[in-house]
Amino acid sequence: MAGHHRQPRDPAGPEPVLTGPGPRWGDPHLWGDHNLAKAARVHPVIWGDMPASSNFQEAIREAQSSALVGPNVVNKALPYVGGGMVLTAAGVLGGMETMASIGYSTFKGLSLVAIIPWFILFFVAQNAANKANNGTALPLMATFSLLTGFTLTGLVVQAIAVAGAASIGIAALATGLTFAVASVFGRRMSDSVGQALTSVVSLGLMGLMLAMVGIFIGSFFIPDLYQGTNLFIAGFGTVLFVGMAFVDFYTMPRMYRDDQYLAGALGMYLTYINLFVFVLRLIIALQGGGRRD
C-alpha cells in the first residue's frame, strides 16, 4: 500500500535546487504485524515493518527550495488519498471475511505471501506516478490500497480482540483530526519551520527504522524484548507520523508538479496509513496486548 517518494524533476523542467538532508520510507506492518513502506520516500511503519526509503534525503533536499513546483498538486491529490483510504477499509473487510472462512493460521500465512506482490505493486505504481503516467498509476494504486487493507487485517483483528471495536474508530478519528489540523497549518508553515521540521522527522524516521530492525533481531535472543519496547516504539512512531503529516503539506507542492498529483497522493496516503497503524499499535500496547504471536 510508501520522506515520501520523491523523484528528481523531469529533465524537461527546471533544475531542482538541492540544499538539504534526506529521504524516508514507510510501511504499516509490524515485524510480525504490519508495516507500510514509502519507497523513494518510504517511511517505516508497522506490520512487522516496512522499509524507509533512502530517497527521503533527496526529497528533503528538493524541498529546501521555497519555490512551488506544483501549486495545485495538494488539492488535486487529496481526493485520491481519500479514495485510497476507502479502498483500504474495503481490503480489511475482505481480509476479515477471508480469515473467518479459512481460519487464522492459514490466513496469517496468506497475508505474509501477499507482502511480495504488495511491494511490487508499490514500486511499479510509484514509478508510473512519478512519471505522471496517471492512467497506468491509478489502477495500480487502487489495487495497492486494497492489498494494503488485506495485509493489515491481522493488526485490526488483534486491536478488536484486545481493545474492542471502538479502538478502530479511535485510531481513525485521531488520524482524521491530524489530517484536518495538518491541512491548515502545514500549508502555512514558513520555509524555516518547514525545513527544520522536515529534517527532524527525517532523522526520527531513520532512528525508528534502526530501532525496529534492532528490536526484531534482538527478540530472537531476548524473547521479551519486543513486548518490553512495543509501547515506546508505538508512541514514538505516532509522534513521528503526526510530524510527517505536517511535512507532507509543506513539501508536496515543492517536490511534485501539478501533473504528478498521484505521486503526491501515494506519499500522503502512506503517511496516514502509517499513522493509523501506529495509533492502533499504541492503543494495543496501552491495553497490554502488544505481545507477538
pLDDT, tens digit, 9 for 90 and up, residues 192-216 = 999 999 999 999 999 999 988 888 8
112 located within any domain = yes
Domain that includes residue 180, residue range: 55-286
**Count of positions (residues) in the chain:** 293
Displacement of CA 41 from its chain's centroid (Å): 9
Q: What pLDDT, on a 0 to 100 scale, did the predictor assign at position 220?
A: 81
Asked if pLDDT for residue 233 goes beyond 70, the answer is yes
- Does any domain span residue 20? no
- The whole-number pLDDT of residue 36 equals 40
pLDDT of 68 over the 90 cut: no
Tens of pLDDT along 241-255?
A: 999 999 999 999 999
Whether 156 is in a domain gets the answer: yes
Q: What are phi and psi of 52, to 5 degrees?
A: -100, 140
Q: What is the pLDDT of residue 57?
A: 53
* pLDDT value at residue 55: 53
pLDDT greater than 60 at residue 7: no
Burial 138-151 (b: 16+ CB within 10 A, else e): bebbbbbbbbbbbb
Q: Please give the Cα distance from 266 to 40 (Å, whole number).
A: 11
pLDDT in the model for residue 219: 79
What is the Cβ-side half-sphere exposure of residue 181, based on CA atoms within 13 angstroms?
11
- Give the residue from 253, 208, 185, 278 showing the smallest Cα distance to 6: 253
In a domain, 23, yes or no: no
pLDDT at 62: 54
What pLDDT is attached to residue 60?
A: 52
User: Looking at this protein, which amino acid is placed at residue 192?
Assistant: S
What's the number of domains the chain is made of?
Answer: 1
Give the separation between CA 277 and CA 190, rounded to whole angstroms. 29
Asked whether residue 233 is domain-assigned, the answer is yes
Please check whether residue 37 is in contact with residue 122, taking contact to mean a CB–CB distance below 8 angstroms. yes
For residue 33, is it within any domain?
Answer: no
Q: Looking at the DSSP assignment, which residues form a beta bridge with residue 48?
A: 30, 31
- The 10s digit of each residue's pLDDT in 23-53 is 333 344 433 344 343 433 444 344 344 434 4
Cα–Cα distance for residue pair 59/41, rounded to 1 Å = 7
Name residues whose C-beta falls within 8 Å of residue 188's C-beta, 6 or more positions apart in sequence: none
Which pLDDT band, with edges at 50, 70 and 90, does 272 fall under?
very high
- Higher-pLDDT residue of 204 and 2 is 204
- The reported pLDDT for the residue numbered 143 is 98
Output the pLDDT for position 4.
47
d(CA 35, CA 142): 18
Flag whether 267 is in a domain: yes
pTM: 0.77
- Does pLDDT of 54 surpass 70? no
pLDDT value of residue 218: 84
- Please say if the pLDDT value at position 161 is more than 50: yes
What percent of the chain has pLDDT above 70? 76
Inform me whether the pLDDT recorded for 276 exceeds 80. Answer: yes
Nearest-angstrom CA–CA distance, 203 and 15: 26
**Residue 225 clears pLDDT 90, i.e. is over it:** no
177: left (phi over 0), alpha (psi -120 to 50) or beta: alpha
| Residue 47 near residue 152 (C-beta atoms within 8 A) | yes
